[in-house]
Amino acid sequence: MVQSYSGNFALTAESCEAGTRLQLGIHPYHFAWTLAPGQSFAAPEAAFVYSRQGLAK
């Protein structure tokens, strides 16, 4: 497994008839970010890839 996202994050997985849903983002516990007028906040992106052939194929 390669992890490219560190810090205070939360990952949830849900399995249902339609498949599996993953949600990854900033964990709301102990998170606060104050923005001045006109400023914006952008969180890092996360990508997950699945292959039935396994790793490195």
Q: How many CA atoms lie within 13 A of 32 on its CB side?
A: 2
Beta bridge partners of 22: 13
Q: The whole model's pTM is what? A: 0.46
Band of residue 3 on the pLDDT scale cut at 50, 70, 90: very low
What would the mean pLDDT of 26-48 be, rounded to a whole number? Answer: 84
- Dist. CA 57–CA 53, nearest whole Å: 6
- Dist. CA 52–CA 24, nearest whole Å: 22
pLDDT at 12 over 80: yes
Give residue 1's pLDDT.
Answer: 43
Band of residue 56 on the pLDDT scale cut at 50, 70, 90: low
pLDDT at 49 over 80: no
Q: Name which of 43, 14, 20 is nearest 31 in CA terms.
A: 43
